[in-house]
Structure 1
Amino acid sequence: MLIVTLAVVAHFFAIWHQFYNSPYDVIAIQQLAKWIHPQLFADLDPDDTFRRLHQEFLPISYQPGYMIDLEKEGR
């Protein structure tokens, strides 16, 4: 029998749902990796990746806010 222990922490994350099933899902994967294993993926910068994709392939400027860690935002 498998016993699962649940740790309750008040730490909330949000990510733009349009990353699902799009060419930019790699941004979501990078961000999820950082949230799940921050030490292991400290070198990833999903905001910078998305910013560079905007510069190279999109006709609009990058605006942050697609991913949020409410603890870092002080909420």
Structure 2
Amino acid sequence: MGVIILDNCGSVARACAMMLGVIYALNMAYPKELRYYYEFLQKVLFRMDAEKLSPQILGLRNKIDAGL
């Protein structure tokens, strides 16, 4: 079971951004089962390190860009 370390972030978007920032700042690996979720947030939505995409995320980004 996990432990809540931060409560009342204000919004889901802010909570996701804060989680991504902590993972990035501490140079931690993404949780295995959420790897592509965090990669999508970081590289597609936040456009951080966007030139290095895994094939799964590249395909999703291309579909989004095509308007599907």
Which category describes the TM-score, using the shorter chain as reference length?
0.3 to 0.5
Structure with more of its chain in strand, by fraction: 1
TM-score by length of 2: 0.33
TM-score by length of 1: 0.31
Whichever of the two has the greater Rg, that structure is 1
Structure with more of its chain in helix, by fraction: 2
